């Protein structure tokens, strides 16, 4: 877990040419902890699917509520770690990943699937690193979409190991056999079952794409619904980072979330500038945890993003090419409607002053020596930089006010935090309106 402000200063040489003129996205197959909640599940499995096991109270509730093992839930005593029973761990995790995903909880003793007691946890130092290493090394292909939570209790620790239904299934355990969940048991798969899992539509398991997006030197958190037909609903987001952001957009996203993200729709949330983030921490990282409803299924998902991974990366399609393509599309659309444009032009041709000249409002005001200020919402941060002759950081600070969606009160509060010198430069050129 990172702490806000856990950053360090360093001498950093930034190859800006590689990260400026383009849009780069670092993405990964989404899906850490995807849980499928089926309407006809038995009572215990339905409880498991909506519960998250993140504290000692949650584990005690398993005992008190008598939540039994099932297709998506298994318990083992701490001795499995003490005795280093690697085969049993890999067998259960591959079975869960090959089936509907779920939780493997270490430190709960059970009898015929019924949880009996917490056994005090695994003694000694943390086993987090060891768990990740054995699962990565002893499963084939490696189970990478695994999340491990350590819950400490005095001298011992409990471990909740979670996995989604894997997009890379089927997976072999360390004995080179394929397993799946049948009720509360992990059992070998038949050949036809292996083929069924291999051919299942894995791309629909987690439709939400999570990525960094850099536009010039500005970094955005990017969400996209990759589904062609179904909306993502009730999206909740929790963000952890080793960099403290200047903007509060992430806090707003965390508090409210998104009620709906329609098919193929994208959303961008401004974080900060590349330079600022890397100066605060040369290994800037972001971990995003989301939960949402998709096709009447509750899904939990996580993604870890590393800003430094974008350094020295190439740009496959420069923004100039994208701009030319967009212009071509607009010209094509314009040409198809040129007849209507001509007719509309003829209708308004009579709108002229006494001399027959049609002058713009800006031109008329200039001729009358009336000061004409620009609309700040028509410019991006580079426009502010050029017109005001200010630094990148000041220009981005203005863009964080006038270039993003926020309430008028929020825009005003951030504007008042700017320096008086920046206020003076800005107000000579732009209107100050918060809308």
Structure-token pair, residue 308: 């430094």
Q: Rounded to an integer, what distance in angstroms lies between the CA atom of residue 25 and that of residue 315?
A: 10
Average pLDDT value for residue range 344-361? 51
DSSP helix/strand/coil, 364: helix
Closest CA to 45 of 68, 74, 76: 68
Residue 352 is predicted with a pLDDT of 45
Residue 21 is predicted with a pLDDT of 30
Average pLDDT value for residue range 68-77? 93
For the chain, give the number of residues.
435
Q: Angle 302-211-405 (CA atoms, 0-180°, nearest 5)?
A: 105
Q: Rounded to an integer, what distance in angstroms lies between the CA atom of residue 349 and that of residue 351?
A: 5
Closest CA to 389 of 432, 424, 431: 424
Average pLDDT value for residue range 273-294? 84
Residue 98 — pLDDT band, cuts 50, 70, 90? very high
Domain 1-30+206-352 has CATH 3.40.470.10: no
Mean pLDDT across the chain, nearest whole number?
A: 76
C-alpha gyration radius of the chain = 28
More confident residue, 256 or 334: 256
More confident residue, 209 or 314: 209
Residue 11 — pLDDT band, cuts 50, 70, 90? very low
More confident residue, 59 or 331: 59
Residue 73 is predicted with a pLDDT of 93
Largest CA distance in the chain: 96
Beta carbons within 8 Å of 414's beta carbon, 6+ residues apart: 400, 401
pLDDT at 351 exceeding the cut of 50: no
Most confident of 123-127, 292-296, 396-400, 404-408: 123-127
Residue 283 is predicted with a pLDDT of 87
Closest CA to 158 of 78, 51, 90: 78
Residue 363 is predicted with a pLDDT of 58
| Contact by Cβ (8 Å): 221, 250 | yes
pLDDT at 74 exceeding the cut of 70: yes
Question: Could you tell me which CATH number the domain at 43-190 has?
Answer: 3.30.950.30
Instruction: Indicate the domain borders of the chain.
Output: 1-30+206-352, 43-190, 373-435
SS3 assignment for 298-359? EEEEEEEEEHHHHCCCCCCCCHHHHHHHHHHHHHHHHHHCHHHHHHHHHHCCCCCCCCCCCC
Closest CA to 159 of 201, 200, 118, 116: 118
User: Model's pTM, two decimal places?
Assistant: 0.45
Beta carbons within 8 Å of 222's beta carbon, 6+ residues apart: 25, 209, 210, 211, 212, 213, 266, 267, 268, 269
Residue 49 — pLDDT band, cuts 50, 70, 90? very low
Tell me what percent of the chain is helix, strand and coil, each rounded to the nearest 5: 35, 25, 40
Residue 297 is predicted with a pLDDT of 75
pLDDT tens-digit series, residues 368-382: 555 678 888 888 888
Residue 329 is predicted with a pLDDT of 72
Q: Rounded to an integer, what distance in angstroms lies between the CA atom of residue 1 and that of residue 13?
A: 28
Most confident of 65-69, 197-201, 335-339: 65-69
Residue 17 is predicted with a pLDDT of 30
Domain 43-190 in the same topology as domain 1-30+206-352: no
Structure-token pair, residue 178: 């394929």
SS3 assignment for 254-298? HHHCEEEECCCCEEEEEEEEHHHHHHHCCCCEEEEEEEEEECCEE
β 102-106/73-76 pair status: parallel
DSSP helix/strand/coil, 64: helix
């Amino acid at each position: 877990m990172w702490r806000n402000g856990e950053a360090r200063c360093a001498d950093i040489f930034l190859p800006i040419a590689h990260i400026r003129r383009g849009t780069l996205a670092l993405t990964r197959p989404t899906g850490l902890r995807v849980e499928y909640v089926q309407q006809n599940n038995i009572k215990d499995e339905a409880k498991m699917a909506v519960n998250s096991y993140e504290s000692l109270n949650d584990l005690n509730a398993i005992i008190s509520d008598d939540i039994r093992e099932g297709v998506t839930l298994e318990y083992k005593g701490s001795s499995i770690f003490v005795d280093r029973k690697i085969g049993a761990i890999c067998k259960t995790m591959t079975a869960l990943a090959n089936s509907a995903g779920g939780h493997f909880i270490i430190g709960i003793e059970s009898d015929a699937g019924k949880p009996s007691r917490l056994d005090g946890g695994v003694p000694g130092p943390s086993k987090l690193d060891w768990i990740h290493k054995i699962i990565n090394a002893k499963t084939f292909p490696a189970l990478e979409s695994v999340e491990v939570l350590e819950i400490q209790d005095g001298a011992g620790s409990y471990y909740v190991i979670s996995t989604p239904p894997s997009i890379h299934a089927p997976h072999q355990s360390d004995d080179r056999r394929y397993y799946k969940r049948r009720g509360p048991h992990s059992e070998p798969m038949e050949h036809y079952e292996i083929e069924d899992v291999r051919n299942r539509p894995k791309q629909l398991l987690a439709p939400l794409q999570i990525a960094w997006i850099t536009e010039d030197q500005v970094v955005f958190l990017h969400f996209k619904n990759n589904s062609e037909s179904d909306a993502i609903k009730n999206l909740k987001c929790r963000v952890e980072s080793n960099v403290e952001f200047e903007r509060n957009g992430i806090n707003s996203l965390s508090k409210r979330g998104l009620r709906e993200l329609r098919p193929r729709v994208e959303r961008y949330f401004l974080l900060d500038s590349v330079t600022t983030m890397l100066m605060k921490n040369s290994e800037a990282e972001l971990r995003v945890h989301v939960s949402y409803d998709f096709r009447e299924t509750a899904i939990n998902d996580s993604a870890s993003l590393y800003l430094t991974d974008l350094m020295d990366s190439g740009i496959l399609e420069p923004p100039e090419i994208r701009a030319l393509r967009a212009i071509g599309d607009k010209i094509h659309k314009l040409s198809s409607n040129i007849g209507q444009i001509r007719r509309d032009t003829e209708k308004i041709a009579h709108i002229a002053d006494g001399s027959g000249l049609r002058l713009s409002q800006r031109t008329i005001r200039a001729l009358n020596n009336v000061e004409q200020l620009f609309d700040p919402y028509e410019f991006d941060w580079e426009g502010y930089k050029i017109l005001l002759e200010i630094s990148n950081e000041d220009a981005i600070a203005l863009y964080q006010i006038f270039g993003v969606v926020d309430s008028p009160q929020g825009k005003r509060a951030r504007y008042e935090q700017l320096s008086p010198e920046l206020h003076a430069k800005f107000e000579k050129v732009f209107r100050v309106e918060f809308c």
